[in-house]
Each structure stands twice: as C-alpha cells, then as structure tokens.
C-alpha cells in the first residue's frame, strides 16, 4: 500500500479511535538474523509476498483516564510476552506523539498463531497503522513500515501489498540514522500470476521463538555468514526474475534461499530444527510434481509448515498433491494481497 492510498480516519474529538487491517507476508528471500535487537535491524535485505488470506484487524481507542493499556486478542485478554510486546510498541508510539494516554487495543487475528505463518507480521502492521492514526501521527508508508518493524521485523513488509523488499539499512552512524535507513517498499513483478499453497502440518505454537533462534544462529552457526552473503546474490537474482515475470526462476531462488536459511539453523549450537518429518514428506511431493512438469517450489519459515509457490493456474493441483502428502493438515491457497489500510467508520 502506498502512502497516498492510506485513508485518514474520522477521529471524534477527545476519543481517537482507528481500526486497521493487514495481511501476513511470506518471504521469498528470508530475513534471518538481526544486527540490532532493540531497533529490529536485520542483517540482510529480504523480499516477500503479502497474502490475501489470514487478515488481522486491530482497533485502537485512546482511553480517557486509564493507567494501563487494555488489550484483547480474539476477544480474550492478551497476556504474557504478547501483551508485553504490544505495550512496548504503544510506548514507542506515545513517545513519538508526545501523548501519554493509554489505549484499548482489540485484535482479531485469523492466522494460526505461532506456527511460522507470520502472525506477528500482520499483527504489528495492523497495530502500527491503527495506533499511528489513533495517536494522531501523520506517517507516510515508509515511516509506517519503519514503525511496524519495531514490533516485528517482518511486519515492515506487510505495510505493502504484493511484493515488497525490506532494506537492511546501515548500522554505521547514529541510532536515528540506522532506524531511518531500514524500511520496506513495493517491488514490481511484471506479469507474474503466482499462488502460494500453504500446507499446515502443525498449527501449534513453535518451541523456539524466531527471536531466540535467530540470535543462536547468528552467534553460533558456522554457516550463517556464507548464507548471509549468498542471500545478497539471491536478492539481486530474485529482483531480476520478478521483473521479467519468470516464475520458475523466482521459485528456484526462493527455495534455495529458504533451505539455506534452515541449513544455518541446523548448524547452530545447539541446532534449531523447525523442519519436521511431515515437512519433508510435503517437500518430496513437490519435487515429484516438478518432475511431472509442474513448476512448484517450497519455502519454509520458523515452523514446520510448508508454503509452495506455483502458478495460479496450477494451485488446485498443487493443493491436491500436498493434501495427499500431509493428510489431516489444512491446506490454504493464497494469492498476492493488499497492503495495510485503515478502515473507515462504515467499514
């Protein structure tokens, strides 16, 4: 979503109230590893596709005299680490707005949380857009992307629809310069008509958070630096493949980048292993499809679920194949989706 498309809400006097919706994204060139944990600065650039399924809708209302934020998640009080991260994010927005008022935040999330399906990306993109509006911050799309990044790195990309590249930025200079340098922006994908078939082999929460897994990989994996270096070349190749609408090339680059990322984790000490036997069964079924002449390629995130990039026209066949490979697991078909946006009062 570009800045000019962002709709400012009608904010009644004394009761700032804004609702935003955002969708998850799946990286084709992965973000794995931070150079600054406080600012959520990544070690490498990444590139993703925003999906048209699993939206998160977040409403932020400023409370009149409350001492604490009130947070609900799918109708229940938010607790623990999730609540702590939302309050820390709101503190950042309050500091920028010069406004101390606490907020009531209601989040409706349709993504299976914590299963490597990037619920934090849609969550913090929606929160960034709604909170910025509720607190009266007038931010353009790049500034919203930077803000969303502070909640969860991958959220910086969900501010945009379609394909987006997230710049790692610079770590030299001041913290402000570093912060300003790292944001996402849209990427054109000429003539590509892709789908992502998502095979949920396990919808439960992951055992190791992506934050901890990244830290361990960067600190201990001998494969991390080589992967980070090759990821630079992958990104350049990916941009070229996207601009010529070459789906087999896009898929091959995405697959090697993702499997390389998982290799860095397997070499960490101790190893982080998100790939499960069920994931490998799905991977094998995709390889067989390819041998049968269907261009289909896998990518995986911080969890065992497998996403298969293919032509939109092949999506049903791919879905059928992975359903057969992972019986009992849900299979979803996603297409490129919209960027984060405010909802007007009439919805």
Q: What residue ranges bind ligand PMV (CB under 6 A)? A: 27, 30-32, 46, 118, 120, 152-154, 210-211, 301-302
- Shortest approach of ligand PMV to residue 153 CB, angstroms? 4
Rank residues 227 and 289 by Cβ distance to ligand PMV and give the closer one.
227
| Least distance (Å) between residue 275 CB and ligand PMV | 12
Return the number of the residue (111 or 142) whose C-beta is nearest ligand PMV.
111
Phi, psi of 311 (to 5 degrees): -70, 145
Secondary structure (3-state) at 6: coil
- Give how far Cα 72 sits from Cα of 58, 103, 155, Å: 10, 11, 20
State the distance between the two ends of the chain, measured CA to CA, in whole angstroms.
18
Contact in structure between 122 and 54 (CB atoms under 8 Å): yes
Q: Is 38 exposed, middle or buried (0-12, 13-18, 19+ CB in 10 A)?
A: exposed
Provide the minimum distance between the beta carbon of 231 and ligand PMV in the complex, in angstroms, as a whole number: 10
Check whether the bond before 270 is cis (ω within 30° of 0). yes
Rounded least distance, CB 302 to ligand PMV, Å: 4
In the complex with ligand PMV, the residue whose CB is nearer, 43 or 290, is 43
- In the complex, the smallest distance separating the C-beta of residue 292 from ligand PMV, rounded to whole angstroms, is 29
Our CB check for ligand PMV shows the closer of 29 and 342 to be 29
Residue 153 or 337 having the CB closest to ligand PMV: 153
| Smallest distance from ligand PMV to CB 170, Å | 19
Judged by beta carbon, residue 32 or residue 89, the one nearer ligand PMV is 32
Q: How far is the CB of 156 from ligand PMV (least distance, A)?
A: 9
In the bound state with ligand PMV, the residue whose beta carbon lies nearer, of 19 and 48, is 48
Residue closer to ligand PMV, measured from CB, 128 or 302: 302
Q: Which residue has the tokens 């932020």?
A: 60
Cα separation, 237 vs 254, whole angstroms: 10
Cα separation of 278 and 105, whole Å? Answer: 37
Q: What is the CA radius of gyration of the chain?
A: 20
Burial class of residue 88 (count of CB atoms within 10 Å of its CB; 0-12, 13-18, 19+): exposed
Residue 141 Cβ, how far from ligand PMV at the closest point, in Å? Answer: 19
Report in angstroms the alpha-carbon separations of 205 from 115, 200, 220, 302, 303.
5, 12, 24, 10, 9
């Amino acid at each position: 979503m570009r800045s000019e498309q962002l709709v400012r809400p009608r904010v009644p006097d004394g009761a700032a109230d804004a609702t935003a919706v955002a969708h998850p994204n799946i990286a084709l060139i992965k973000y794995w590893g931070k150079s600054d944990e406080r600012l959520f600065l990544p070690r490498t650039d990444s590139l993703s596709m925003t999906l048209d399924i699993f939206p998160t809708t977040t409403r932020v209302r400023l409370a009149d005299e409350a001492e604490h934020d009130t947070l609900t998640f799918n109708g229940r009080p938010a607790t623990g680490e999730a609540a702590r991260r939302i309050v820390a994010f709101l503190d950042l927005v309050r500091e920028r707005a010069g406004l101390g008022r606490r907020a009531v935040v209601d989040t409706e999330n349709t993504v299976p949380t914590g299963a490597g399906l990037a619920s934090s990306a849609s969550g913090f993109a929606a929160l960034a857009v709604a909170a910025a509006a509720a607190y009266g911050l007038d931010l353009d799309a790049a500034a919203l992307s930077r803000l969303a990044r502070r909640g969860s790195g991958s959220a910086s990309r969900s501010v945009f629809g379609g394909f987006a590249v997230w710049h790692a930025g610079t770590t030299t200079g001041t913290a402000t310069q570093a912060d300003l340098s790292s944001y996402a922006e849209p990427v054109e994908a000429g003539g590509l008509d892709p789908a992502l078939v998502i095979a949920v082999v396990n919808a439960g929460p992951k055992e190791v958070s992506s934050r901890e897994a990244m830290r361990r990989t960067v600190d201990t994996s001998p494969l991390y630096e080589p992967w980070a270096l090759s990821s630079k070349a992958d990104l350049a190749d990916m941009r070229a493949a996207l601009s010529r609408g070459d789906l087999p090339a896009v898929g091959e680059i995405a697959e090697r980048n993702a499997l390389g990322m998982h290799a860095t984790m397997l070499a960490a000490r101790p190893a982080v292993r998100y790939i499960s036997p069920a994931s490998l069964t799905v991977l094998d079924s995709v390889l067989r499809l390819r041998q049968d002449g269907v261009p289909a390629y896998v990518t995986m995130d911080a969890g065992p679920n497998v996403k298969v990039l293919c032509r939109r026209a092949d999506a049903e066949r791919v879905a059928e194949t992975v359903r057969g490979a992972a019986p009992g697991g849900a299979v979803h078909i996603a297409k490129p989706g919209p960027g984060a946006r405010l909802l007007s009062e009439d919805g």
